[in-house]
Amino acid sequence: MPQNARAVPLNPQHINVPKGANALDSKTITNGNTIVTIHSTLVNKTPEQIQEWFDQAIKRGDPVALSLVTAVSNIVHAKDQT
């Protein structure tokens, strides 16, 4: 092995863990041939509570909320063009 070579650890494989007290709720939505499963505590909230959560998260600059908004926007725009 060359002197400047280094070992890069691989990410561990996903291990199925039984659902426990801290597990997230999930909801599956089907639209045509598309199936989306959402794993989040948001699935038990009203649409108004979800909107409020997203508004607050985006104001905070939450990268997960921003990426979700971007992903949904991309899906809607792709569907509009078909």
User: Does pLDDT of 7 surpass 70?
Assistant: no
Please report the sign of the dihedral spanned by the C-alpha atoms of residue 41, residue 43, residue 44, residue 50: positive
Report pLDDT digits (tens) over 15-49.
565 555 556 788 888 888 888 888 888 888 999 99
Q: Which helix (H) or strand (E) holds 74?
A: helix 63-80
Kindly tell me if the per-residue pLDDT of 55 is higher than 70.
Answer: yes
Nearest CA-CA partner of 40 in 28, 56, 24: 24
**Strand duo 26-31 + 34-39: pairing:** antiparallel
